[in-house]
Amino acid sequence: MIAMQVGGLNLEVSTNAFLLLSVLLFSLGVGAIVARRNAVAILMGVELMLNASAINFVSFGARGGSIDGQIFGVFIIILAAAEAAVGLAIVLNLFALFKTIDVDQPNLLKG
């Protein structure tokens, strides 16, 4: 059980609830990557997967009583911000070259 205080109320949430949320977010991220052809939607799927892993680290760190999970969570958020910046730069270049953000359209490297 993880104890937290929200608006003056003391709540206890089990680690299983956080794991269920994490599985749901990770599954939505994988589904967005597999089902979409839009580059921006694929980047959002990757962001969901990174957030799911951050939730896992923070929940297990809180369960163990250490701050290590929160430190890893901050690093994951920093990684996600860098990934979003580089990914959006790639998407903008893709749109400038091919006038589309559909990842199946550009076939410049095919011989």
Q: What is the pTM of this model?
A: 0.81
Q: What is the pLDDT of residue 70?
A: 92
Roughly what angle, to the nearest 10 degrees, separates helices 39-64 and 15-35? 160
Q: Write phi, then psi, for 38 (nearest 5 degrees).
A: -80, 130
What are the CA-CA distances from residue 102 to residues 41, 42, 107 (Å)?
10, 10, 11
Q: How confident is the model at residue 111 (pLDDT cuts 50, 70, 90)?
A: low
Say if residues 72 and 57 touch (Cβ distance below 8 Å). yes
Q: Say how far apart CA 70 and CA 58 lie, in whole Å.
A: 5
How far is residue 12 CA from its own chain's centroid? Answer: 25
Q: What is the CATH number of domain 16-98?
A: 1.10.287.3510
Q: What is the pLDDT of residue 6?
A: 79
pLDDT in tens, 58-72: 999 988 888 999 999
Taken as a whole, the chain contains a residue count of 111
Q: Say how far apart CA 21 and CA 36 lie, in whole Å.
A: 22
